[in-house]
Amino acid sequence: METTDDGTGGGAGDELRWRVGERVRALAPRLTEVARFLKEHPEVGHQEYEAQRFLCSVLEEAGFAVERGVAGLPTSFRAEYPPGGGGRPRIAFLAEYDALPEIGHGCGHNLIAAISLGAALALRDEGCGTLVVLGTPAEETTGGKIAMCEAGVFDGLDAAMLVHPGWRTSVGGSSLASHPVEIEFFGRAAHAAAAPEKGINALDALLLTFQAVHALRPRLDPAVRLPGIILDGGTAPNVVPDYTRARFSLRAADARYLEEVVVPAVLDCARGAAQATGCRLEWRFYEPLFLDMRENQVLARLFADEMRHLGYEVQELPPAMRGGSTDVGNVSHRVPAVQPSVAIGDPPPPGHTREFAEATVSEPALRAMLDACTALAVTGARLLHDAGLVQEVWQAWHQGMRESSRTTP
Ligand SMILES: [Zn+2]
Ligand SMILES: [Zn+2]
């Protein structure tokens, strides 16, 4: 045991901070290059070949064993040090690197990649445990981490961590579980003026579905979100529509409540509409289930302590503060996981914009990237050297999983 874990520093803790901080400072030119390169070469989900090539080559140069294309995702990777694996704990840093169409790195995933890469490289010579870097593609679309979870890529890890750039420096909060549904109605076409009685109106079925879903809202948990859009609503006003299609982005605070209550209720609305109009209904999930985020309290505390040590004000968000949905949620149900935020400007531009993409390579953003990298690396170093702390992390994980389903009936 080499560190103090109370976050106040102390002799041994300061030594570790100094050592890790020095390594991140030495890596600064390389990490800046990574952040800039990804920003200049934005690639959308599942197309991130340049990002994969660049990140894997840096890791290979540093002696990591790299496997490309894990879990059937061509642009993913898994890097490990020491090659072949060392002992416990196994600490993973997650690199996202997908961009948004037209906008580029408006979510700042170029910085996530640089921070995680830097943390792993900074800890390479700690001489204990196993370091893993996971390249997790397509966060903005299908959620690459979900397939990686299902393929067992996260099994056996003791911590999975990444830092997301944003408009505030914070830990805590959570995300909504999400399971997007597509609904189709099949009716019968007819002349809408001359012989409407010969038709079966698939648009009526769809409109009734929207009305019924709207009527559901007050019956459900207030955190539930049920936005929907019509993708096919008929072809001509003088033809009874024989085919319509809609998509709903169904979300809830808790995945079980979403699956057991919200999804069946919405499908009942569609079934009722099908029966009322005589249409045939088909439905499917068009994206996988994103689970709600269960941030690990111990990992969050460790990271927050380090950011405060670096002079940052860190907000602690209550679990009820939920953003959108993220595939890190699925990871957090498998292993202890944390995804704090770091502010990259003052004031930072809104996310998912071109302005944000530009801001990711500004001087303040690159400084915040290096600080977040230092805080993440020190958090990892503490775990590597303190088996008791790893145990605490796991206790907090079990506790967090027990507290699940508060909204489940
Ligand atoms: Zn985003
Ligand atoms: Zn993002």
DSSP string of 274-339? HHHHT-EEEEEESSPPBPPP---HHHHHHHHHHHHHTT---EEEEEEEE-S--THHHHHTTS-EE-
Q: Do residues 40 and 147 share a domain? A: yes
Ligand minimally distant from the alpha carbon of residue 351: 1
318 falls within a domain: yes
22 falls within a domain: yes
134: which 2 tokens? 């996971």
Coil vs helix vs strand at 226: coil
Q: What is the pLDDT of residue 12?
A: 56
Q: What is the pLDDT of residue 155?
A: 97
Report whether 365 contacts 111 (CB < 8 A).
Answer: yes
Ligand 2 centroid, distance to 388 Cα (angstroms): 32
Ligand minimally distant from the alpha carbon of residue 350: 1
Ligand 2 centroid, distance to 168 Cα (angstroms): 14
Q: Do residues 191 and 171 share a domain? A: no
**Alpha carbon distance 274, 316 (integer Å):** 47
131 falls within a domain: yes
Nearby residues for ligand 2 (ion, Cβ within 5 Å): 107
210 falls within a domain: yes
The residues, ordered by sequence, that sit 6+ positions from 66 with a Cβ below 8 Å of its Cβ are: 56, 59, 60, 77, 78, 79, 80
Ligand 2 centroid, distance to 57 Cα (angstroms): 24
Ligand 2 centroid, distance to 164 Cα (angstroms): 7
**At which of 285, 318, 350 does a domain end?**
285
Ramachandran bin of 173, using left for φ above 0, alpha for ψ from -120 to 50, beta for the remaining angles = left
Ligand 1 centroid, distance to 140 Cα (angstroms): 6
**Alpha carbon distance 23, 338 (integer Å):** 23
What are the per-10-residue average pLDDT scores of the chain (409 residues)? 43 85 98 98 98 98 98 98 94 98 97 98 96 97 95 98 96 94 98 96 98 96 95 97 97 95 98 98 96 96 98 93 90 97 89 95 97 98 97 96 59
64 falls within a domain: yes
Ligand minimally distant from the alpha carbon of residue 112: 2
**CATH number for position 272:** 3.30.70.360
Coil vs helix vs strand at 50: helix
Q: Do residues 370 and 349 share a domain? A: yes
Q: What is the pLDDT of residue 1?
A: 40
Dihedrals phi, psi of 259, to nearest 5 degrees? -75, -35
**At which of 239, 270, 285 does a domain end?**
285
Q: Do residues 198 and 302 share a domain? A: no
Q: Do residues 46 and 171 share a domain? A: yes
Ligand minimally distant from the alpha carbon of residue 166: 2
Ligand 2 centroid, distance to 251 Cα (angstroms): 18
Q: Do residues 307 and 395 share a domain? A: yes
**At which of 237, 253, 285 does a domain end?**
285
Q: Do residues 43 and 107 share a domain? A: yes
Q: Do residues 28 and 157 share a domain? A: yes
Q: Do residues 166 and 190 share a domain? A: no
Q: Do residues 246 and 281 share a domain? A: yes
29 falls within a domain: yes
Q: What is the pLDDT of residue 345?
A: 82
Residue found by looking up tokens 């809830």 in the block = 252
The whole domain housing 197 covers 177-285
**Alpha carbon distance 53, 31 (integer Å):** 15
Closest C-alpha among 38, 22, 118 to residue 361? 38
DSSP 221: -
Q: Do residues 213 and 187 share a domain? A: yes
The tally of domains found in the chain comes to 2
370 falls within a domain: yes
**CATH number for position 107:** 3.40.630.10
Residues facing residue 164 across a β-bridge: 341
Q: Do residues 72 and 190 share a domain? A: no
Ligand 2 centroid, distance to 139 Cα (angstroms): 7
Query: Around 330, how many Cα atoms within 13 Å sit in the side-chain half-sphere?
Result: 23
Closest C-alpha among 244, 248, 236, 266 to residue 200? 244
320: which 2 tokens? 């009820």
**Strands of 337-338's sheet in order across:** 65-68, 77-81, 130-135, 90-95, 159-161, 337-338
Ligand 1 centroid, distance to 105 Cα (angstroms): 9
342 falls within a domain: yes
DSSP 350: P
